[in-house]
Amino acid sequence: MPGGGWVGLPLAAALAAAGAMIWLRRRHRYRPQPVDAADTDDSDLRPLPPPVARLRRAVQERAPQLLEPPPPQPTVSQYASGDTDWQPPPSGPTGPTLAGISDIPSGGLGLTGPNAEAAARALLVATLSTGSPNDPDSKGEVVIPADTLTTLLGAHAVQIGPIPRLHITTNLPDALSHLLQLVVNRQRTLQENEADDFDSLRADPYHPPLPPVVLLAEVPDGEQRAELTNTLYLGAPLRINAALLGQWPRGETRTVRADGHTDSRNERLAVLDVSTTVDLLHALREAHTGEPTTTGPIEDAPNVFPPTAAPVTPENEREPDPPAEPTADSETPPPGDPVEPATHSLPATPAPDTDTPTTRPTSAPAPSRQTAANRVRIQLLGGVTIADRDDQPTPALRMHARQLLVYLAVQRNGAKRNDIMEVIWPHASVTRAGERLQTEVGDLRGKIRQAAGDNDVQPVINTGGRYHLNPDLLDIDLWRLVDAHRTAAAATDPTARITALQQAVEADTGDLAAGFDYDWIDRPREQLRRQGFRTRLHLADLVAGTDPQQARDLATAAATLEPYNEHVARQVMRVLARAGDAAGIRTQLQRLRDALAETDVEPSDETIALAAQLQREIAGTIHSSGEPTNGRLRRS
């Protein structure tokens, strides 16, 4: 981690899960527009803060099983019917556990040493990253006086917006008053549920959640010390405890060394610098609330739909390329990075020369314009495949050559050499990254030339340190999809727009580079998903009057692409209402409920009211017509 920070894999996995929740929140709040409207709501597609992306990559490489979702729990109806023998699932890790603290004594824990504040920052982040909608007992809360937050974050403390599970008090006395009120409320909760402690409370499947609470503060003096001691004595059985900056004689004190290890136990605590902590708190705020953050750049993020997307056409470039010599660190894919099966013999060896920008020599022939039938077909939607002239997949690309192919296809106007190296090899030296880029470019060129059956074609062009895929040679499904979207948006004739929208739907065959995960790919994937359901909804609206069945199928497909968005759900309900499908409206509302449950959100009153209104209108129409045919409206 930057600044000498360190976190364990369980905390890294929890923060990666928060990153995934951010994308679900963004999908929920997005407001789709027709395809011919300027879509100005892409500002929320900024990349996740660098620490989140870095931690996610570390978990994917070292412990991918930590990112797997927990097994589903029995539903209320299953439990009520006696169909399952319910046992309380194990409660997830607490904040102190994720932060590497083996336990906090009931009397509280003091932190001293050169990295005490860094450990307290990590504990703050760890506690706010615990739990999930399916594990509310683990959704830890932090109570912290404002002056302690300033001690930990400095001037950045004022940048932290409201986080529901972070309670910032004016001072320590207010924090202690808050904790005492929690003690009273939790004692009442135990009494009302006839439970003696937390474990007996959890034995009831209908129990109210009782998440752990951690007070982060500086060691007090005088009367406040006695009050804190008494509060912790009462709160310990109720999952209320404290970590304090300084020597704490009423409990236990541990000295945190520079590397995070403590001097009294065999444990290494997570430690974070100020900048990383602020980034992570911004991410946790968006994950918890769904409110967008304005931190982090977006201008340079990969963009499938840039303002000017005219592809660069090669002009007499002929560039020699290096041999794709295997290297130990780039040939072996990391865990969880599948490789397409090889179905052919090795490709022809490309010309063994160096990768330098061309100077447009007058003697070099211009590459021939390929007809659509002669272009090399590349699939990037639903997978990554290069097909030969017999429409058979070529041997698998090297791991980074495959990523380079996807990146350059997204960056249709080309990408600078330095940007490519930063995206794919951010932690390699400049020299080593340059060598790797030459190797991967050579492998990509070799596989495409094999598919083309021509060693003289130029699939990847380097013009002055800027790399492009050759649009005259390559037929890439991603480009066809983007072009169909643009054609539909620009069309003024309804028939032409319907045709372009249908072409876009047919070209949309899956997620971008499905099965592969790259740090930079979230934004283009989400852009394509948004365009996918916008296209289907717009087309459904255009054909509803002439083909209600097709309109309903398109609307249902849009809801499948985007199950978390209420605006999409409401549009789908309106399409279903035109077809008189009351059962479909009920099904759509339930699917929305199920999806939003993953984000701990309920459908809005507006959505529920619309579903009820549309069903009443359908029932009234059927009643007046006297023909209740499968719940659909009779149409003349």
The DSSP annotation for 130-186 comes to: --BTTBGGG--EEEEEHHHHHHHHGGGGGG----TTEEEESSHHHHHHHHHHHHHHH
Backbone angles phi, psi at 635, to 5 degrees: -120, 135
Cα 313 to chain centroid distance, Å, stands at 34
Name the amino acid, one letter, at 23: W
The answer to whether the beta carbons of residues 384 and 513 sit under 8 Å apart is: yes
Higher pLDDT, 228 or 341: 228
**Three-class DSSP labels, 135-151:** EHHHCCEEEEEHHHHHH
Q: Could you read off the pLDDT of 90-104 as tens digits, one per residue?
A: 789 999 999 999 889
Average pLDDT estimate for 198-219: 92
Q: Could you read off the pLDDT of 454-481 as tens digits, one per residue?
A: 999 999 999 888 999 999 999 999 999 9
Q: Could you read off the pLDDT of 286-326 as tens digits, one per residue?
A: 999 998 876 555 556 677 777 644 444 444 444 444 444 44
- What pLDDT is attached to residue 368? 42
Average pLDDT estimate for 321-333: 40
Tell me the two tokens of residue 440: 């991967």
Task: Encode burial over 577-591: b for 16+ CB neighbours within 10 A, e otherwise.
Answer: bbbbbbebbbebbeb
Tell me the two tokens of residue 28: 């929920």
**69-78, 208-217, 337-346, 357-366 — which one is most confidently predicted on average?**
208-217
- What pLDDT is attached to residue 453? 93
- What pLDDT is attached to residue 531? 93
How far, in Å, CA of 632 to CA of 634, rounded? 6
Tell me the two tokens of residue 176: 């202690």
For residue 359, pLDDT over 80 is answered with: no
The answer to whether the beta carbons of residues 283 and 49 sit under 8 Å apart is: yes
Least confident of 63-72, 188-197, 572-581: 63-72
How far, in Å, CA of 223 to CA of 229, rounded? 10
Higher pLDDT, 248 or 79: 248
Average pLDDT estimate for 532-546: 93
- What pLDDT is attached to residue 298? 54
Least confident of 188-197, 206-215, 289-298, 615-624: 289-298
Q: Please report the DSSP string for 23-69 in residue order.
A: HHHHHHH-----TTS-----GGGPPPPHHHHHHHHHHHHH-GGGGSP
Cα angle 333, 338, 344; round to 5: 95
**Kind of pairing between the strands at 415-416 and 385-386:** unpaired
pTM, full prediction? 0.83
- How many Cα atoms are found within 13 Å in the side-chain-facing hemisphere of 104? 32
Residues 6+ apart with CB under 8 A from 393: 340, 341, 343, 385, 386, 387
Q: 33 pairs with which residues across the strands?
A: none
Q: Closest by alpha carbon to 400, among 466, 330, 449, 301? A: 330
- What pLDDT is attached to residue 364? 30
For residue 367, pLDDT over 90 is answered with: no
Higher pLDDT, 303 or 171: 171
| Element (DSSP H or E) covering residue 217 | strand 213-218
For residue 351, pLDDT over 70 is answered with: no
Give 432's pLDDT tier (boundaries 50, 70, 90). very high
- What pLDDT is attached to residue 39? 55
The answer to whether the beta carbons of residues 295 and 289 sit under 8 Å apart is: no
Radius of gyration for the alpha carbons in the chain, expressed in angstroms and rounded: 29
Q: How many residues are listed for the chain in this entry?
A: 636
**Kind of pairing between the strands at 415-416 and 466-469:** antiparallel
Least confident of 187-201, 371-385, 411-425: 371-385
| Element (DSSP H or E) covering residue 378 | strand 376-379
The answer to whether the beta carbons of residues 105 and 276 sit under 8 Å apart is: no
The answer to whether the beta carbons of residues 296 and 275 sit under 8 Å apart is: no
For residue 331, pLDDT over 60 is answered with: no
- What pLDDT is attached to residue 349? 36
Backbone angles phi, psi at 245, to 5 degrees: -85, 110
Give 440's pLDDT tier (boundaries 50, 70, 90). very high
Average pLDDT estimate for 489-497: 92
For residue 252, pLDDT over 70 is answered with: yes
Higher pLDDT, 634 or 364: 634
For residue 553, pLDDT over 70 is answered with: yes
- What pLDDT is attached to residue 315? 44
Least confident of 24-33, 149-158, 334-343: 334-343
Give 254's pLDDT tier (boundaries 50, 70, 90). very high
Q: Which phi-psi region, left, alpha or beta, contains residue 412 (left: φ > 0; alpha: ψ -120 to 50)?
A: alpha
For residue 61, pLDDT over 80 is answered with: yes
Residue with tokens 């035109």: 578
Give 264's pLDDT tier (boundaries 50, 70, 90). confident
Instruction: State percent of the chain over pLDDT 90.
Output: 69
For residue 392, pLDDT over 90 is answered with: yes
The answer to whether the beta carbons of residues 28 and 564 sit under 8 Å apart is: yes
Tell me the two tokens of residue 240: 């209320």
How far, in Å, CA of 610 to CA of 619, rounded? 14
Cα 78 to chain centroid distance, Å, stands at 32
Task: Encode burial over 390-403: b for 16+ CB neighbours within 10 A, e otherwise.
Answer: eeebbbbbbbbbbb
How far, in Å, CA of 127 to CA of 101, rounded? 12
Cα 333 to chain centroid distance, Å, stands at 22
Residue with tokens 């931190």: 295
Residue with tokens 């974050």: 153
For residue 537, pLDDT over 50 is answered with: yes
How far, in Å, CA of 213 to CA of 241, rounded? 6
Q: Chain-wide mean pLDDT for the chain?
A: 85
Residue 599, helix vs strand vs coil: coil
- What pLDDT is attached to residue 296? 55
How far, in Å, CA of 361 to CA of 350, rounded? 21
Give the orientation angle of helix 116-128 with respect to helix 9-29, to 10 degrees.
50
- What pLDDT is attached to residue 303? 79
Residue 252, helix vs strand vs coil: strand
- How many Cα atoms are found within 13 Å in the side-chain-facing hemisphere of 299? 0
For residue 338, pLDDT over 80 is answered with: no
How far, in Å, CA of 615 to CA of 235, rounded? 51
Residue 247, helix vs strand vs coil: coil
Average pLDDT estimate for 603-627: 85
| Element (DSSP H or E) covering residue 248 | none
Residues 6+ apart with CB under 8 A from 421: 428, 430, 433, 434, 436, 437
Average pLDDT estimate for 619-624: 71
Name the amino acid, one letter, at 522: D
What is the sign of the dihedral through the CA atoms of 95, 96, 97 and 98?
Answer: positive
